[in-house]
Structure 1
Amino acid sequence: MKKVMAFKILLLVTISLTTIGCKRSSSSNSSRATGWDINSRDGGFQYNTQFKEQETAPGLVFVEGGTFTMGRVQDDVMHDWNNTPTQQHVQSFYMDETEVTNKMYMEYLDWLKRIYPPSEENYRAIYIGALPDTLVWRNRLGYNEVMTENYLRHPGYGEYPVVGVSWIQAVEFANWRTDRVNEMYLEEAGYITRDAKIASVEAGQTFNTDTYINAPTQVYGGNDSITSPQNTRRRVQTTASGDTINVYAGRETGIISPSYRLPTEAEWEYAALGLTELRSYNIYRGRKKYPWDGQYTRSGKRKVRGDQLANFKQGKGDYGGIAGWSDDGADITNQVKQYEPNDFGLYDMAGNVAEWVADVYRPIVDDEFNDFNYYRGNVYTKNAISEDGTVKIVTTDEIVFDTLPNGKVIARDLPGEIAQVPVDEDETYLRQNFDRSDNRNFRDGDKQSSRQYRESFSEEDGVTTETSMTSKMYNSPKHNIDVDDSTGALIREYDKSNKRTSLINDEVRVYKGGSWKDREYWLDPAQRRYFPQTMATDYIGFRCAMSRVGSKSKNKNKTKN
């Protein structure tokens, strides 16, 4: 009897130890690599083990990625031959529900004006460089002064898509938006003093996401009272000697969001098509000509049968129908969310305004080299390093201004940001996946794309050895701007050569979708057009996107049908 009892006790002890060991090995707060505790109050490795999935940032909707046929599904009546169908795959991402509106852009301008007052000479170009070009509404044989004076700022157009914004300005808006959203997230998580983003911010003391990650003590111009745990809602941590430790939120916390950016062309086209309504099990049955199902631009639903599904030019001299019976409810742009969204929940992916995307334009999509997250336009940079070995933070006295080809002046970096320099041999030596910083003209069909490109260039081609590393396939005009040393005035010189054969270069960007000024043909998401990245029009706007981190789908269970 005693032997049986002893055996039972031994068995229970063994089971208990095994259970404890299993729990310890499977616990999210212990390391599977070392067995050490994670997130211990005594210190050591800290990590967000409770992270579930990326939070949807303000204004965005989720777009689950996948494979699709990118390119035309109708006749190429324009004979551009620039959108031959290719099979591509895009990762899951987020995209703005609507185009960026005048009200959204005005918030950006208001912030710039408060932080960098244009009344101060050193900051004037920062605010002016961000202003949309309201003169895009002018027409030599039309009266549009009311739009020039009112469209951007009047509350009657507050929810209308912003226009007159160049590609460069759209990118700068996305960068600013990234910083403001992450600043809000860090404030909510208790890493930043509440309301400091408004009360304590001035030129040289702003928040920048990259600076916070790489040099957190330099954020807000080094004002550590904003990030100090004594002034926030975080628990104060101390060293063994009792000194306070200031803990910052890194990427590993899951608090900091990926950057807002312009969508790639592949992402935009995939999101615009909204192919989920054509899915049958694991295949798309059919193709789509528009963001909605069907071959026509009018609704077939009983209640709204015959209504136009987008805002576009109906015909010659017809931008919206007759009085009392408007076909699409608008004659110029229209308020966002006036037409039904597509299957991803995205509004106005056809019509209203065309939209900038991130890509540099080339007539071909090189699917032979890459068919995953396709994008042309990579320019790889790295953080500039100061003499003391720390990252170089731009100060108010070190703002560098660039003069664009059209004469406009913009700030290369704002105070508080980390200065960037091109990657060099430190990153490219013996590397296989890239070998230079600027890859905009990679494999675009020019001489440089051939294995013998060095032998192909000569002085007779009008290309020097120094410039032979840049593209010469596209013989675009080369205008020039100089600055008069005595007066500081800009001297604009036009390229008057009659030997130019193309407008394509590394500074032209793709824009997608139709607009209020376009006919039905351009509503097809596959259509491609291009425009200089420094210029703007009255029919091109933009929306932002954001990459998704973690799982491909929000639905953990595999869809059966």
Structure 2
Amino acid sequence: MRRLTSLSLILGTGVLMSMSACKNGGLFGKKKESSSATGWAYNDPKMGGFSVAKAKDQFTGPGLVFVQGGTFAMGATEQDVMGDWNNIPRRITVSSFYIDENEVSNINYREYLYWLNRMYYESFPDVYRNALPDTLVWRSELAYNEPLVEYYFRHPAYNNYPVVGVSWKQATDYAKWRSNRVNEKLLMDAGLLSKADIMNQADDNTFDSKAYMAGLYEGTPGKMSKSAKKQFANPDGSPRGAQFEDGIMLPNYRLPTEAEWEYAALGYIGQNPNPSKKEGKRGEELIMNKQIYSWGTNNSGLRDIRRGNWQGQFLANFKRGSGDNMGMAGGLNDKASIPAPVLSYFPNTFGIYNMSGNVSEWVNDVYRPLTTIDGDDFNYFRGNKFQTVYQNGEKEFEKDSLGMLKMRDVTDEESASRLNYQKGDVINYLDGDSLSLVEYGYGVTSLVNDKSRVIKGGSWNDRAYWLSPGSRRFMQEDMATNTVGFRCAMDRVGSPEGNKFKTGNTFKKQRQKR
């Protein structure tokens, strides 16, 4: 397989730009497409062989639901009874994205451990050991929770319960593994990789999406790679692997940002009216109420009783009061003394379960008390530490001992002349500098530091206050508890409205004199 020399091909940037030049027809189809800029034919070896895939929508990855983006007021929705005031409301916009329908379950995480054990245990046993959840989080000095220590993660009775005892670092590593497994299966289904490789991977020859696109994965080509169609061939006829531009692989799974998580939890799509004749194809640009909980369609948080007797039923798993985790025998309120199965309770209007209650969840952000004031109002996020592909002295790409493409941190020297950022590590951006005029003493006089990560949503052992999507707490990224789990998200490419929709408003062309 020929190694690529363009970094943009490896990271998948520019895919939409290449697709936008397509007019009609498929990749290497009978009708040759041509460039609207130069007139040269696409997918024609005699015309240079520039490959352009047929424009296609992004399909939804396993376990995900589509979240149409928009504007909302991020932050507090009720009185700040904790006195923190670390969630000051601020209006921002979030791009469309995908998020898991439910929290990552025990059986999902055990599948991950199985793969790590099979691929790395003989040569790198610490990879498997470091991924194990901390089951001792169930222990307490003055409680008998040993059955949960022994059985909660392993027993099949808890297969579909949310995994807990997982740190932020472990959750991030799980998301990377999940990305590779999903993309590997997509390539096998497309006939570009042989399914015989499933049981033959180990150590540095395990599938990694970026290493594959860089030509570093030594996998067995599938039938499509050898087909007479030469759909995945270089201009000289030599075979090539799929690239992100071919539209076969998906973007990476990752932890959601705090803004994405909060926006998805509120589910405001249910408050915009459906398209009507009066409004044409657009809904009304309106946030009707500042709802308190994720399941609510009004500010009281109650469901419409005309569609079912919801009044009086618990719509989330939380602690009603001191010593009351599930109610009384014969009348259990939320029917769960600990976390409940991940598809329990009422989903919000995006179709997402347990954004209020069950377990709190890790998000990608580094915690700061007043971070929303400083942050961008478009796709707000704090935690950027920019990276690029590592190249050795011969300017060639390398993979590490676990089969992953080597990456390196972007240096301040590389960033100094840029207009949009001047440092590679901007986690501390605006911390105590001349622009913010604030000095927090992170990691010196404060418990908050660069390893403090945001956790969102209330848990089975929290009072109702923490169930509000605007509430936020933090924990160190290498710590874990029995109340914190996680779910994954994915970038959305293409139309923000979803598949089969165009980006931007379109109008009829005006007639012009020739």
Q: TM-score range by the shorter chain?
A: 0.7 to 0.9
Question: Does structure 1 retain, via aligned residues, the 8 Å contact 2:453–2:477?
Answer: yes
1:150 positional shift: 0.8
Percent identity over paired residues = 43
* Corresponding position: 1:537 with 2:481: yes
Which blocks of at least 5 consecutive residues in structure 1 are unaligned?
Answer: 1-23, 396-414, 454-470, 478-500
* Corresponding position: 1:450 with 2:437: no
1:172 and 1:179 map into 2 onto residues whose CA distance is 11
1:283 positional shift: 1.2
1:324 positional shift: 2.0
Match of 1:521, SS state, is helix
* Corresponding position: 1:556 with 2:501: yes
Structure 2 counterpart of 1:60, which letter?
Answer: L
Question: Does structure 2 retain, via aligned residues, the 8 Å contact 1:513–1:525?
Answer: yes
Q: 1:430 pairs with 412, 417, 420, which one?
A: 417
Query: Residues 184-237 of structure 1: CA distance to partner in whole angstroms, max 9, x if unpaired?
Result: 1111122111342x2221222111111122x21x11xxx35x136687667458
Structure 1 counterpart of 2:266, which letter?
Answer: L
1:390 and 1:232 map into 2 onto residues whose CA distance is 27
Residue 239 of structure 2 is matched in structure 1 by 246
Q: 2:115 pairs with 107, 111, 135, which one?
A: 111
Counterparts of 1:134-533 in structure 2 under 5 Å? Answer: 134-196=135-197, 198-213=198-213, 215-216=214-215, 218-219=216-217, 223=218, 226-227=220-221, 235-236=229-230, 245-280=238-273, 281-293=284-296, 294-295=298-299, 301=305, 302-367=308-373, 369-395=375-401, 415-424=402-411, 427-444=414-431, 446=432, 449-450=433-434, 473-476=440-443, 501-533=445-477
2:365 and 2:435 map into 1 onto residues whose CA distance is 25
Query: Residues 14-49 of structure 1: CA distance to partner in whole angstroms, max 9, x if unpaired?
Result: xxxxxxxxxx99656211112122123657344444
Residue 65 of structure 1 is matched in structure 2 by 69
Change (3 A) 1:211 1:525: same
1:254 positional shift: 1.1
Match of 1:161, SS state, is coil
Q: CA RMSD in A?
A: 2.7
Change (3 A) 1:438 1:266: same
Which blocks of at least 5 consecutive residues in structure 2 are unaligned?
Answer: 1-20, 26-32, 274-283, 506-514
Structure 2 counterpart of 1:523, which letter?
Answer: L
1:427 positional shift: 3.0
1:429 positional shift: 3.5
1:147 and 1:43 map into 2 onto residues whose CA distance is 66
1:532 positional shift: 0.3
Question: Does structure 2 retain, via aligned residues, the 8 Å contact 1:228–1:246?
Answer: no
1:369 positional shift: 5.0
Residue 88 of structure 1 is matched in structure 2 by 92
Change (3 A) 1:53 1:258: same
Structure 2 counterpart of 1:165, which letter?
Answer: V
Change (3 A) 1:139 1:182: same
Question: Does structure 2 retain, via aligned residues, the 8 Å contact 1:298–1:308?
Answer: no
Question: Does structure 2 retain, via aligned residues, the 8 Å contact 1:298–1:309?
Answer: no
1:502 and 1:191 map into 2 onto residues whose CA distance is 52
Counterparts of 1:127-138 in structure 2 under 5 Å? Answer: 127-138=128-139
Structure 1 counterpart of 2:495, which letter?
Answer: S
Change (3 A) 1:276 1:151: same
Query: Residues 146-188 of structure 1: CA distance to partner in whole angstroms, max 9, x if unpaired?
Result: 1111111111000000000000000000000011111111111
1:331 and 1:164 map into 2 onto residues whose CA distance is 17
Q: 1:102 pairs with 75, 84, 106, which one?
A: 106
Question: Does structure 2 retain, via aligned residues, the 8 Å contact 1:289–1:525?
Answer: yes
1:25 and 1:346 map into 2 onto residues whose CA distance is 35
- Relative to the length of structure 1, the TM-score reads 0.78
- Relative to the length of structure 2, the TM-score reads 0.84
Question: Does structure 1 retain, via aligned residues, the 8 Å contact 2:22–2:54?
Answer: no
Structure 1 counterpart of 2:127, which letter?
Answer: I
Match of 1:95, SS state, is strand
Counterparts of 1:12-91 in structure 2 under 5 Å? Answer: 29-40=33-44, 42=46, 44-91=48-95
Change (3 A) 1:210 1:74: same
Residue 17 of structure 2 is matched in structure 1 by none
Question: Does structure 2 retain, via aligned residues, the 8 Å contact 1:272–1:525?
Answer: yes
1:286 and 1:297 map into 2 onto residues whose CA distance is 10
1:514 and 1:369 map into 2 onto residues whose CA distance is 24
2:184 and 2:233 map into 1 onto residues whose CA distance is 27
Larger radius of gyration: 1
Structure 2 counterpart of 1:191, which letter?
Answer: L
Change (3 A) 1:452 1:188: closer
Question: Does structure 2 retain, via aligned residues, the 8 Å contact 1:193–1:232?
Answer: no
Match of 2:481, SS state, is coil
Match of 2:65, SS state, is strand
2:395 and 2:45 map into 1 onto residues whose CA distance is 32
2:357 and 2:391 map into 1 onto residues whose CA distance is 46
Change (3 A) 1:157 1:296: farther
Structure 1 counterpart of 2:381, which letter?
Answer: Y
Question: Does structure 2 retain, via aligned residues, the 8 Å contact 1:360–1:508?
Answer: yes
1:442 and 1:176 map into 2 onto residues whose CA distance is 30
Change (3 A) 1:300 1:237: closer
Q: What count of residue pairs does the alignment treat as equivalent?
A: 463
Question: Does structure 2 retain, via aligned residues, the 8 Å contact 1:175–1:260?
Answer: yes
Match of 2:195, SS state, is coil
Change (3 A) 1:314 1:31: same
Which of 295-304 and 356-365 deviates more?
295-304
1:317 positional shift: 0.6
Query: Residues 523-559 of structure 1: CA distance to partner in whole angstroms, max 9, x if unpaired?
Result: 0000010000000000000000001001111262899
1:237 and 1:270 map into 2 onto residues whose CA distance is 41
Structure 1 counterpart of 2:492, which letter?
Answer: R
Structure 2 counterpart of 1:391, which letter?
Answer: F
